Amino acid sequence: MKSICIIAYTDYLTDARVMRQAESACHAGYAVDVITPISRGQEEKLVSNHVTIHRLRTGQYRGSEKTLYVLSYLDFFIRCLVRISRLHIKNNYRIIQVCNMPDFLVFSAVFAKLTGAKIILDIHDPMPQTYMAKFPGSGRRGFYHLILWLEKLSAAFSDRVITVHEPVKRDILLRDGIPAGKISVVANFADEGIFRVHDPYTIDLPIRMIYYGTVSARFGFEGVLSAIRKVRQMDKLFFKIIGKGDDDAALRERIGALGLGAIVEFDNTSYPLRQLPEIIGRYHLGLVPYSPSPATDYMLPVKLMELLAMGIPAITVPNTAIRYYLDERLYFGYDPRNMDTLTLLIDRILDDPSLLLGKREAVLRESARYLWKNERLKYLDVLAQLLM
């Protein structure tokens, strides 16, 4: 049987892209292993939908210290280097796919490459731009150029690069010097087998709004909460935040400082992907925010695509990637440089909740265009080409 191994510095059960790809390869007849860090309380080895997950005893760092990020990446890299080499001797992988960040994880597959395996670098987030967004301030240019060099070197080592959407290929990866013929786009669309249209969808008060995903400063929670604090009819709104990240403590403190505890609830949990639709289906409206930066301008948030697949209207920022794929009729947009636009938008929805029904109708007419079934074939084609 053809075998593939996917390496990702993530929690497999909560990472939609990695899970979609692994299960798609499995259903296409590949034997699929996945290597990830371990989280507290998890088993070291698990089989999920015929995908074998190997969890290495190294934690996933979620803080804001550059040095600790680097050390955590290096620890995972070294453990991957040992584990993937051993597993390759046993399983003779035909393809090894490495998901960034970091890009240099591809070099953990050096033994497998030397013995015939093909290597894919899956760029979820362009690392140089993400670094600039996450660590603003002085003294960053030298490190930026080092990360850019590592991105180029990692792409050169790989047999194929895949990435999450066309604008990141067109405007970032090509500019960074990766050859166009080496890059394939497999868009970050929602898995329709998990995120199905939610019925019934009825409007009542308070309007329930949800954010779920990573809790990080780059998603602009400080501005979002300040905007909510100015909403005229706060008693008509309930906002739930679900997730974990490097901004957990600051978010909790900010909710308290603004006196929003009665209408904003922070559930500091990362739920397995398959549990999310049941939770999301209880809400009228999704929020997919972020602060403007070179990295966030090229995000095509999978959370937005999941809400779209479920027919749940969403508020977001119409960045370069979102405008490329989605007509403005399919979401409520605001300007993150002027957070009063978010306040006014929420006020408008609270004044006239029927706006949600109109937006849902538009979403349902178009959502079939933005599902994983359309991208699955592109992904499987990349695997097949590498085996020719």
Read off the pLDDT of residues 18-51 as tens digits, 9 standing for 90 and up: 999 999 999 999 999 999 999 878 899 999 999 9
Q: Per the domain annotation, does 196 fall within a domain?
A: no
Query: In this predicted model, which residue has the larger pLDDT, 78 or 294?
Result: 78
Indicate whether 87 pLDDT > 70: yes
* CA count, 13 A, side-chain hemisphere, 331: 28
Categorize the per-residue pLDDT at 138 as very low, low, confident or very high, splitting at 50, 70 and 90. very low
Indicate whether 180 and 65 sit together in one domain. yes
pLDDT score at 140: 61
Range of the domain at 124: 3-189+371-386
Indicate whether 27 and 172 sit together in one domain. yes
Q: Per the domain annotation, does 195 fall within a domain?
A: no
pLDDT score at 57: 86
Indicate whether 228 and 358 sit together in one domain. yes
DSSP state of 107: G
Angle in degrees, 0-180, between the axes of helices 340-351 and 221-229, rounded to the nearest 10: 50
Q: Catalogue the E-assigned strands of 218-313.
A: 237-242, 264-267, 285-288
Indicate whether 217 and 90 sit together in one domain. no
- 8: its two tokens: 């990702």
Indicate whether 159 and 215 sit together in one domain. no
Q: Per the domain annotation, does 200 fall within a domain?
A: no
Query: In this predicted model, which residue has the larger pLDDT, 55 or 57?
Result: 55
**Structure confidence by residue, pLDDT tens digits, 238-280:** 999 999 988 999 999 999 999 999 999 999 999 999 999 999 9
Across the strands, what pairs with 240? 210, 265
Q: What percent of the chain has pLDDT over 90?
A: 83
Categorize the per-residue pLDDT at 183 as very low, low, confident or very high, splitting at 50, 70 and 90. very high
Give the CATH number, domain containing residue 93: 3.40.50.2000
- Mean of per-residue pLDDT scores for the chain: 93
Indicate whether 212 and 161 sit together in one domain. no
Q: Per the domain annotation, does 94 fall within a domain?
A: yes
pLDDT score at 348: 98
Q: Per the domain annotation, does 194 fall within a domain?
A: no
Indicate whether 235 and 353 sit together in one domain. yes
pLDDT score at 386: 97
**Structural domains of the chain, count:** 2
Indicate whether 250 and 303 sit together in one domain. yes
Contact 226, 200 (CB under 8 A): no
Q: Nearest CA to 336 among 356, 316, 359?
A: 316
Q: Catalogue the E-assigned strands of 100-167.
A: 118-123, 160-163
Indicate whether 175 and 212 sit together in one domain. no
Indicate whether 177 and 231 sit together in one domain. no
Indicate whether 230 and 152 sit together in one domain. no
Mean pLDDT of 287-310: 92
**Structure confidence by residue, pLDDT tens digits, 327-350:** 999 999 999 999 999 999 999 999
Distance of alpha carbon 382 from alpha carbon 228, whole angstroms: 44
pLDDT score at 136: 66
Query: What's the CA dihedral at 353, 274, 17, 215 to 10 degrees?
Result: 60
